[in-house]
Structure 1
Amino acid sequence: MKLERLISMIYMLLNHEILSASELADKYKVSQRTIYRDIDAICAAGIPIVSYQGVNGGYGIVEEYKMDRSLLGSYDVGSLITVLQGMSTVFRDDKAMETVRKLQTIQQENGMPSLSLDIENRRLNNKELRSIRSAITSKHIVRFDYIDAKNDRTSRKIEPASLMYKNQSWYVYGFCLSRQDYREFKLSRIVELAVLPETFSRVHNVRPQEGMPDWSLRPEPAKVVVHFLPNALAKALDVFMGADKTFNEDGSLTLTLNIGDASHTEWLMSLVLGFGDRAVILEPPELRERFEAKLRSMLGRYEA
């Protein structure tokens, strides 16, 4: 604990001009006498700390000893700090925050950052996310039940290799002991997660690069047109960010989407259903028919 405090104090002093003993004592929840002993220990390690007298006095590190700010540009440092702060928010990662403090010692601008990153997903159990990351670091096997895209539930044990954040969702990638191959699992579909006491020694390489897709085998993209009432504008823009937009004179909105496969539109119909009577599919006619059939089937379940 003392060593961690000493290291943290060094970076605190590198990141500030002058810090008083009382400030450091409050920060680390120790007495000022302990801070004096820590300062002596840091000096004994060869780090040149200077004592400043007066009302605004305290301790600081001589300027010549601090890291050369020209090693990284302000854009580089700011980008790294943004990413690490976003990661530490999700994982409560003290090591990441220590790295942030190191980078802040060479940050040339202390004003409002031009970019912030919040990757925390409040719909997800962050405790499970942190458990998986801990298992990756400690090389412990993870067990869980998984609901796949076909709604089948299977029990899995994996050697977790990495966590990935893509398309606003978290995934864990690892070696599945049930399938004896590498698999990717969406965290929102994982239930009854448990980190087992068993460890693994296998070295997992970076995820292999997927081959270039054969575009000739892909179906022709289909154009879908959806109309939204004025009281659904904000939600429609949030859900369908990449669509072509047409704002109508009556305040309504018409969105045109290009989807990859017209035969697999269950996801789209589910999204449109979330708007209730505030949205209607205009094109193509066959999708309108499938959507109408789905609505009739839903009504039939209530009439039974």
Structure 2
Amino acid sequence: MRADRLLNIMILLQNRGKMTAKELATKLEVSERTILRDMDALSHAGIPIISDRGKDGGWRLLDNFRTHLSGLNTDDVKSLFLFPSEELLKDLGFNKQTLDTRQKLLASIPETFQEEAQVSWERIHIDSGTWRQTKESVHALKTVQQAVWESKRLTIVYKQANGEQKERLVEPLGLVAKGNRWYLVASRNGELRNYRVSRIHTAKIEDETFRRPLDFNLADYWEQSKKEFIQNLPQYDVQVELHPAIIKRINFTGKFVQFIKTENPNGDKWIPAALRFNDKQEAIEFILGFANKIKVISPKDLPNEVVSSAISVIKFYKNK
């Protein structure tokens, strides 16, 4: 609804200070032309909206103008009670208090929202860990977090994927928890980079502070970074037929393979399927693990390579 969008524009400008029409359009999932019409509507309604031109231009509210509208609805209030896992909060040094923070929050909101908030709290719990907890060592997290809070440059010794360690001087902009892993988002030589905190061998806070980019938004950047990472992942697609006996097992191996589609069983009751791997070697190892319960249809050269790998395994153990 347009009224909700106008309110959201005011809240965004109030919280962020200044945003371009393009940024607002992206955030609210409308066109820039719609945003410009909304700005006219807000001006005619007496809201002091100002447009700054130039390189660092954008829309902003008149200085010292603040609305008294929170924009909170029932769903917003319920979402406030869906806290992250205690493990992540402990990583950041937020130790659990005697009185749960949600108790304090519950006491501060209007009575009309309290019942819905209580229901949300009692019925939904978020656990960001895995079934077999493999907690990464994040000994540098405290230092990294301090540098983020204080906007101070940070010298890190970072272990790259190939095992080589490199020293880097970065400007830490924020921390992101992805599952049970922590990532540092930082600027280096003017470029935004992601660093897994568990790979930071040492971290030293420098005396020099830095100025955060005015247009940087951590959540927006991370979403875009994820999309680009997924788009650049390698893909190796395989057409197979699956024996009915392994269907239940294979559905639990999503870490190594992605199901693209399955079809109705054929005359032999085998199930045609399309599988996606990161690369050919990953596909070979996965197929070998199911022995004679997976038939490879394509690529045509893959069955021979599976056989070759199987022969290598047999020779290795025969010579033991």
Q: TM-score, normalised by structure 1?
A: 0.51
C-alpha distance in 1, partners of 2:155/2:100? 28
Letter in 1 for 2:160: I
The structure 1 residue matched to 2:239, chosen from 225, 231, 235, is: 225
Tell me the SS of whatever aligns to 1:182: strand
Match of 1:82 in 2: 82
CA offset digits 1:202-240 (Å, max 9, x no partner): 1233269669x99xx999976423537537245235654
The structure 1 residue matched to 2:206, chosen from 194, 198, 214, is: 198
Letter in 1 for 2:301: E
Tell me the SS of whatever aligns to 1:185: strand
Alpha-carbon RMSD: 4.9
C-alpha distance in 2, partners of 1:286/1:167? 37
C-alpha distance in 1, partners of 2:140/2:251? 30
Match of 2:148 in 1: 136
- Asked if 1:269 is matched to 2:279, the reply is no
C-alpha distance in 1, partners of 2:312/2:101? 56
Letter in 2 for 1:224: V
Which structure 2 residues correspond to residues 208-287 of structure 1 after superposition, within 5 A? Answer: 223-226=237-240, 227=242, 229-230=245-246, 232-236=249-253, 240=257, 243-245=260-262, 255-258=273-276, 265-266=279-280, 268-269=282-283, 272=286, 275=289, 277=291, 280=294, 282=296, 283-287=298-302
Letter in 2 for 1:160: P
Pair 125,147 (structure 1): closer, same or farther in 2 beyond 3 Å: same
Tell me how far 1:201 sits from its aligned partner.
Answer: 0.9
Match of 2:134 in 1: 123
Pair 291,130 (structure 1): closer, same or farther in 2 beyond 3 Å: farther
Tell me how far 1:155 sits from its aligned partner.
Answer: 1.3
1:90, 1:119 within 8 Å by CA — same for their partners in 2? no
CA offset digits 1:250-288 (Å, max 9, x no partner): 9987642356xxxx6157438727946486462322344
C-alpha distance in 2, partners of 1:187/1:251? 48
C-alpha distance in 1, partners of 2:134/2:292? 25
Match of 1:32 in 2: none
**Greater alpha carbon shift after TM alignment, 115-124 vs 87-96:** 87-96
Match of 1:108 in 2: 115
- Asked which structure has the greater CA Rg, the reply is 1
C-alpha distance in 2, partners of 1:95/1:140? 30
Match of 2:196 in 1: 186
1:135, 1:142 within 8 Å by CA — same for their partners in 2? no
Tell me how far 1:171 sits from its aligned partner.
Answer: 2.8
Pair 125,301 (structure 1): closer, same or farther in 2 beyond 3 Å: same
Pair 146,91 (structure 1): closer, same or farther in 2 beyond 3 Å: same
C-alpha distance in 1, partners of 2:233/2:153? 42
C-alpha distance in 2, partners of 1:95/1:277? 49
Letter in 1 for 2:203: V
Structure 2 gaps of 5+ residues are 1-69
Length, aligned pairs only: 222
Letter in 1 for 2:115: Q
- Asked if 1:154 is matched to 2:165, the reply is yes
1:162, 1:174 within 8 Å by CA — same for their partners in 2? yes
- Asked if 1:175 is matched to 2:187, the reply is yes
C-alpha distance in 2, partners of 1:154/1:242? 36
C-alpha distance in 2, partners of 1:195/1:220? 32
Structure 1 gaps of 5+ residues are 1-69
2:136, 2:181 within 8 Å by CA — same for their partners in 1? no
Letter in 1 for 2:136: N
Pair 269,147 (structure 1): closer, same or farther in 2 beyond 3 Å: farther
Match of 1:145 in 2: 158
Match of 2:176 in 1: 164
Pair 72,180 (structure 1): closer, same or farther in 2 beyond 3 Å: closer
CA offset digits 1:109-160 (Å, max 9, x no partner): 3236454322236323254474333442244625233222xx2513132333
Tell me how far 1:173 sits from its aligned partner.
Answer: 1.9
Match of 1:3 in 2: none
Letter in 2 for 1:108: E
Pair 142,117 (structure 1): closer, same or farther in 2 beyond 3 Å: farther
Letter in 1 for 2:92: F
Pair 154,81 (structure 1): closer, same or farther in 2 beyond 3 Å: same
